[in-house]
């Protein structure tokens, strides 16, 4: 193979290995050490670690030292032939796993890899740890097998890494959803005594202790604190501004989402966060108390006002003066009433009232023809003789 062909062969393999290739892999592809050396001298390959080369045109990959160390554990096998948890290649763990996950700022001077059975290495900055791993404790990050966040934290506690650093890892992992506190608590409880707590302390106590050492806080603690502050502010605000409670009680947004948004805006509470809390807590009880108080306000506002009720009762009572005026109007000659109607002097309400009010003593003395004309329909004077319609 000429130089171009050699480079093409190596590039095809390195493309799926972060631009890296080992001397043993190059041999598997039909190349010898001399050819690899000449490509390096020509600047087409770069020697990055013992027996590991980088194609110069590919750029420098992230976490190069970890990837090179992982390739060297099984130098003749290509990365795509090593499934996660392969018994020979191992799994990146401990502080190196934190680097790959991007968790915390724990120091990682060595590349740490967990293997299922005891192995040795001559590499000065590679540390092999022997421990069995369940497949559920292995994930893949950037093409590398890595211990999960929960297993990584447990491993760090087991080797008694700095508590503050572990607390930072826990806080970051919890914020990013890589762990659940309840699940992690079950795994870390046996290490409570190592970090100054009683042996009977719960795993959650150890987690809170470590996170506090790091000067961090868990997302659920932040939600609790923000909700408590919002609740206190809401109570103070409602006490100072009863009109705000009235507006909230009578608010009727179009849908549930708008109702929650409006309530959150008025109370300054993150209600959506409260609904996502994994366990009941005092804040939800406080929220329920506020909403119950607002429901009571709503009920009181919807009850009839005594003053309004009395006013309506008086309005429903007959007005003697108005009744007498209507009766006097009804005593007029039907022709006069018709003229008033045609002239627009009688409103529909007045015409209807004329029908409702009973006849006076004098109205009953009207001639039969006049009396019949004045009561022939609801609207006296609307229809002229002969049934003709008028405008």
Residue 277 is predicted with a pLDDT of 43
Residue 332 is predicted with a pLDDT of 62
Domains of the chain, earliest start first: 3-61 (1.10.10), 91-213 (no CATH), 219-302 (no CATH), 316-385 (no CATH)
Phi, psi dihedral angles at 147 (to 5 degrees): -65, 145
Coil, strand or helix: which one is 21? strand
Residue 124 is predicted with a pLDDT of 87
The rounded distance, in Å, linking the Cα atoms of 14 and 16 is 5
Indicate the range of 72-76, 83-87, 304-308 predicted with least confidence.
Answer: 304-308
Phi, psi dihedral angles at 4 (to 5 degrees): -65, -40
Q: Is the pLDDT of residue 99 over 70?
A: yes
The residue-averaged pLDDT of 132-147 equals: 95
CA distances from residue 21 to 11, 66, 125, 352 in whole angstroms, order as listed: 9, 14, 20, 102
Residue 45 is predicted with a pLDDT of 95
Q: Is the pLDDT of residue 189 over 50?
A: yes
The rounded distance, in Å, linking the Cα atoms of 184 and 173 is 11
Helix 242-250, helix 256-267: angle, nearest 10: 170
Q: Is the pLDDT of residue 387 over 50?
A: no
Among candidate residues 153, 164, 171, the one with its CA nearest the CA of residue 213 = 164
Among candidate residues 196, 228, 226, the one with its CA nearest the CA of residue 212 = 196
The residue-averaged pLDDT of 54-71 equals: 92
- Quote the radius of gyration of the chain (alpha carbons, Å): 44
Residue 73 is predicted with a pLDDT of 92
Using one digit for the tens of pLDDT, what is the confidence trace for 39-53?
A: 999 999 999 999 999
The rounded distance, in Å, linking the Cα atoms of 353 and 347 is 10
78-79-80-86 Cα dihedral, nearest 10 degrees: 110
Q: Is the pLDDT of residue 343 over 80?
A: no
The residue-averaged pLDDT of 164-177 equals: 95
Residue 179 is predicted with a pLDDT of 94
The rounded distance, in Å, linking the Cα atoms of 223 and 365 is 85
Average of per-residue pLDDT values in the chain = 76
The residue-averaged pLDDT of 338-366 equals: 55
């Amino acid at each position: 193979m000429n130089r171009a062909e050699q480079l093409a062969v190596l590039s095809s393999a390195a493309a799926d290995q972060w631009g890296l290739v080992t001397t043993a892999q190059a041999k598997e592809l039909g190349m010898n050490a001399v050819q690899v050396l000449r490509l390096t001298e020509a600047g087409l390959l770069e020697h990055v670690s013992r027996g590991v080369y980088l194609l110069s045109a590919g750029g420098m990959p992230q976490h190069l030292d970890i990837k090179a160390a992982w390739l060297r554990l099984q130098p003749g096998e290509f990365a795509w032939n090593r499934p996660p948890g392969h018994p020979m290649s191992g799994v990146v763990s401990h502080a190196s796993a934190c680097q790959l996950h991007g968790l915390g700022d724990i120091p990682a001077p060595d590349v740490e890899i967990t293997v299922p059975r005891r192995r040795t290495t001559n590499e000065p900055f590679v540390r092999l740890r022997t421990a069995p791993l369940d497949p559920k404790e292995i994930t893949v990050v950037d093409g590398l097998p890595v211990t999960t966040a929960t297993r990584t934290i447990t491993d760090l506690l087991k080797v008694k890494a700095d508590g503050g650093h572990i607390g930072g890892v826990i806080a970051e992992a919890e914020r990013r959803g890589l762990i659940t506190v309840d699940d992690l608590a079950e795994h870390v409880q046996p290490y409570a005594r190592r970090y100054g707590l009683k042996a009977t302390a719960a795993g959650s106590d150890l987690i809170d202790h470590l996170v506090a050492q790091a000067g961090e806080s868990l997302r659920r603690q932040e939600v609790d604190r923000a909700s408590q502050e919002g609740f206190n502010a809401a109570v103070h605000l409602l006490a100072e501004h009863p009109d705000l409670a009235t507006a909230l009680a009578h608010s009727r947004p179009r849908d549930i989402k708008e109702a929650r948004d409006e309530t959150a805006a008025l109370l300054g509470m993150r209600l959506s966060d409260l609904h996502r809390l994994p366990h009941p807590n005092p804040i939800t009880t406080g929220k329920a108390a506020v909403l119950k108080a607002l429901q009571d306000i709503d009920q009181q506002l919807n009850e009839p006002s005594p003053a309004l009720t009395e006013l309506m009762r008086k309005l429903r009572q007959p007005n003697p003066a108005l009744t007498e005026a209507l009766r006097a109007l009804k005593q007029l000659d039907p022709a006069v009433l018709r003229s008033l109607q045609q002239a627009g002097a009688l409103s529909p309400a007045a015409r209807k009232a004329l029908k409702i009010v009973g006849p006076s003593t004098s109205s009953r003395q009207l001639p039969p023809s006049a009396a019949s004309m004045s009561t022939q329909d609801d609207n006296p004077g609307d229809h002229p003789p002969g049934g003709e319609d008028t405008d």
